[in-house]
Amino acid sequence: MATSSRPAVRAFTLVELLVVIAIIGVLVSLLLPAVQQAREAARRTQCSNNLKQLGLAFHNYHDMHTMFPLGGPGGPPPGAPNHYVIGWTGRILPEIDRGALYDELHKLTPNPFNEINPIRYDTSPSNGTDSMWSRPIATFLCPSSTIAPINTKLTSPTYANQHSSLHYRGVAGTNDVDFDDAGGSTRAFSTAGIMIPEGSVRSSDVSDGLTKTLMLGETSTDEGWNSGDQNGWGGIQPWTWGSYYYSTGWLQVDHKYIQYPIGYTGDFAYSNTPFRSPHSNGAQFVMGDGSVVYLSSSTDLATLKAMATRANNEIVEGY
């Protein structure tokens, strides 16, 4: 009887199998951070592209109106509490291909950007989640932000709906804004920057240089409406609110004042909350010429303040 000459097949031992599994685990652990870093790099690039679009929109607006768009106002309209006025975000809608939404705003009030014609905060052209306020605008959103595209922190039952978020704010200057409480303001706001709450700024007014002056920056502050302190107001981020008139004073929402370093943590009030981002060790800004720069959280505060003003004759180098 013939016997088979085929050699016996050797199986893996348990030790060899465990070694292979361990090697695979090490490779995955090495690869995963690289994948995460690549994804974050892509998100940061998209964020930069958003800011570039906004910078271009600001200059297109300037070409049309001979001035940069204004931030939300600071002067209260008589007898109009619980209203808000839309600031720069609404003004540039035609420049970011949202002309239809711009037209809808004017159906609510003759001039939604004027404090004489404010909009009630619970006004909505329709009911449900498809309202004007709850439509996210991609150009206003950083893909890395922890603040959801629909701001669910606005939980007051008096609101008609949820509001879509804004992850970028204008740079108005450096003055500390002094508020008594959530409903009061001394109107001590700055007008030294490009994105000022009242008045108009032209490119010719930026004598410090458009390439050296901040115009917009990232603001991903995750405090919400019900956070229990003034940080809650600083974290309110709907794009529809340029300024919000509550009881006795305005709260400027669409712009900030540089009083602290980038990413600084602590207890702040309203528009004094620092610029910050979900990106590591810094935040992205739009300069007055429309270019985008990444400023480290270690950037000297004196340098940031100099960059926040448009005509103080500071010399800014090496940021």
Position of tokens 């974290």?
235
6 assigned to some structural domain: no
Identify whether the C-beta of residue 58 lies closer than 8 Å to the C-beta of residue 215. Answer: yes
40 assigned to some structural domain: no
Provide the pLDDT for residue 74. 55
Provide the pLDDT for residue 258. 87
Identify whether the C-beta of residue 251 lies closer than 8 Å to the C-beta of residue 187. Answer: no
Pairing mode, strands 255-257 and 168-173: parallel
Greatest mean pLDDT among 77-86, 227-236, 267-276 lies in 267-276
Q: What's the token pair of residue 5?
A: 């000459």
- Say yes or no to pLDDT of 248 above 60: no
Q: How far apart are the C-alpha atoms of 171 and 191, rounded to whole Å?
A: 10
Q: What's the token pair of residue 279?
A: 């990106």
Q: What's the token pair of residue 169?
A: 């704010």
- Say yes or no to pLDDT of 209 above 90: yes
194 assigned to some structural domain: yes
Render the burial of 300-316: b for 16+ CB within 10 Å, e for the rest: eeebbbbbbbbeeebeb
Identify whether the C-beta of residue 116 lies closer than 8 Å to the C-beta of residue 189. Answer: no
- Least confident interval from 8-12, 130-134, 229-233: 229-233
Render the burial of 211-247: b for 16+ CB within 10 Å, e for the rest: ebbbbbbbbbbebbeebeebbbbbbbbbbbbbbbbbe
Provide the pLDDT for residue 142. 93
- Say yes or no to pLDDT of 200 above 90: no
Phi first, then psi, for residue 259 (nearest 5°) are: -120, -15
Q: Report, as an integer, the average pLDDT of 202-226.
A: 83
State the DSSP H helix or E strand holding residue 169, giving kind and residue range, or none if neither: strand 168-173
At 53, the pLDDT band (50, 70, 90 cuts) reads very high
At 318, the pLDDT band (50, 70, 90 cuts) reads confident
State the DSSP H helix or E strand holding residue 101, giving kind and residue range, or none if neither: helix 99-108
Question: What percent of the chain shows pLDDT beyond 70?
Answer: 61
Provide the pLDDT for residue 223. 52
- Residue 225 is part of which domain span? 66-308
Identify whether the C-beta of residue 172 lies closer than 8 Å to the C-beta of residue 191. Answer: yes
317 assigned to some structural domain: no
117 assigned to some structural domain: yes
Q: What's the token pair of residue 110?
A: 């003759």
- Say yes or no to pLDDT of 306 above 90: yes
- Say yes or no to pLDDT of 229 above 50: no
Identify whether the C-beta of residue 260 lies closer than 8 Å to the C-beta of residue 221. Answer: no
91 assigned to some structural domain: yes
13 assigned to some structural domain: no
Provide the pLDDT for residue 184. 43
55 assigned to some structural domain: no
Who contacts 56 (Cβ-Cβ below 8 Å, separation ≥6)? Answer: 95, 290
Provide the pLDDT for residue 30. 82
Identify whether the C-beta of residue 115 lies closer than 8 Å to the C-beta of residue 85. Answer: yes
Pairing mode, strands 292-296 and 243-246: unpaired
Q: What's the token pair of residue 139?
A: 């150009």
Structural domain count, the chain: 1
Phi first, then psi, for residue 20 (nearest 5°) are: -60, -45
Q: Report, as an integer, the average pLDDT of 83-95.
A: 81
Provide the pLDDT for residue 230. 42
Q: Residue ranges of the alpha helices (H) in 109-252?
A: 231-234
> Exposure of 124 by Cβ count < 10 A (0-12 exposed, 13-18 middle, 19+ buried)?
middle
Q: Report, as an integer, the average pLDDT of 68-94.
A: 70
